[in-house]
Amino acid sequence: MTESEDLRNRFEAAMMANYGTPPLALARGQGCRVWDADGNRYLDLIAGIAVSALGHAHPAIVAAVTAQVGKLAHTSNLFVHEPGVALAERLLALLAADGRVFFCNSGAEANEAAIKLVRRKQGSSRPVIVAAEHGFHGRTMGSLAITGKESIREPFGPFGLDVRFVPYGEAAALARAVDRDVAAVFLEPTQGEGGVIPAKAGYLRAARQACDAAGALLVLDEIQSGIGRTGAWFAYQQEQILPDVLTLAKGLGGGLPIGACVGFGDCGSALRKGDHGSTFGANPVACAAALAVLEVIESENVLGNVKAVGDTLAGGIAAIGHPLLRGVRGSGLWLAAVLTADKAPAVSAAAQAHGFLVNAVQPDAVRLAPPLILSQEEAQEFLDAFPAILSAADAGAAA
Ligand code: PLP
């Protein structure tokens, strides 16, 4: 039995079945490469689902985390500490807007904080939240209630939140749904789990206008799109609007668990003393890692790399003529190769057999969300192999 098989067996015996048993056991990583438990090497084009922004074992993160864990690993929120305050200040400076930050440990928790903030700010006379069909906001009860994918939401209802779902990307339908009963609209600038589906240009601006007209708050979930993934620090900046609330996680910690809920203007002071909390929120080690991520993205022009390598990847995929490939969508280093048949799991398996990690995000869409430091050469390596991967998947073989 291989090391991977042994780990998978132990996983199955000891861990709950909610993820199924993953196909691969990973043991270590360096840059954009990872190695499995049997020593096989892969180019990581999914980065722990859009998380490992600086790849694996980045020296800046290793140094920041090592120094912080050796100094003070945890305080709880009974005490103030430098990395937490510095990270909030740094985020607000990047956002270039007046606001306040709440830190937590994951994307779902960031959205839970946003839901409570909205309730506090809007009161009980506005009971409705508007969210998008096929949107994804997390697996906890509040974030799941506003998640537009019925198959994962419905088995766990009722939720105690009155949610109105609208078709994503349709400005007129959104405007019709946002009336004076609506406390807030929750949207992703691009639907990540839905299959990397960008909103049409102007959609976020239309959402801003609909919210302003009805007195509703606009909450943008940039848990997957934020921190450089699309080539901008935050995707909403491409439409020159400002949400009332912004939620972040994933890439922020570069692999350490951290989430953030940012309230702009009055929304920054909506939650009052005693309203919300998390023992591990603003954990100093996670904050130190996030500070290192932001510092490297800024000082090494990582956003420029995201745009340039993203263009290479998207252009290269678009240029491949293959019967299984319909096209490519997304921006920056956040793309979906769209297939002509529901064979994404076969493409993912074939990619793995060829030494690449990708993700079957939808039956007909293969997601690429690599580290933001992916090089042109690494992108080209994948492009060179992709036709053979598609052919292997099409033929029903994994290699
Ligand atoms: N919101 C969006 C847009 C996401 O993509 C995700 C995770 O994929 C979440 C929320 C939930 O984040 P987490 O899994 O960290 O709870």
In ligand 1, which atom is closest to the CA atom of 250?
Answer: 15
Per-residue pLDDT of the chain (399 residues; tens, 9 = 90+): 999 999 999 999 999 999 999 999 999 999 999 999 999 999 999 999 999 999 999 999 999 999 999 999 999 999 999 999 999 999 999 999 999 999 999 999 999 999 999 999 999 999 999 999 999 999 999 999 999 999 999 999 999 999 999 999 999 999 999 999 999 999 999 999 999 999 999 999 999 999 999 999 999 999 999 999 999 999 999 899 999 999 999 999 999 999 999 999 999 999 999 999 999 999 999 999 999 999 999 999 999 999 999 999 999 999 999 999 999 999 999 999 999 999 999 999 999 999 999 999 999 999 999 999 999 999 999 999 999 999 999 998 544
Which of 102, 103, 136, 186 is an active site residue?
136
State whether the beta carbon of 182 lies less than 6 angstroms from ligand 1: no
CA of 117 to the centre of ligand 1 (A): 18
CA of 107 to the centre of ligand 1 (A): 5
State whether the beta carbon of 112 lies less than 6 angstroms from ligand 1: no
State whether the beta carbon of 224 lies less than 6 angstroms from ligand 1: yes
The residues pairing with 36 across neighbouring beta strands, listed in sequence order, are 26
244-271 burial, b for 16+ CB within 10 Å, e for fewer? bbbbbbbbbbbbbbbbbbbbbeebbebb
pTM confidence score: 0.98
Active site residue 264: no
d(CA 290, CA 253): 4
- The domains found in the chain, sorted by start residue, are 3-58+301-394 (3.90.1150.10), 72-299 (3.40.640.10)
Active site residue 221: yes
Listing DSSP states for 309-367 in one string gives HHHHHHHHHHT---TTEEEEEESSS-EEEEESSS-HHHHHHHHHHTTEE-EEEETTEEE
3 state DSSP class of 200: coil
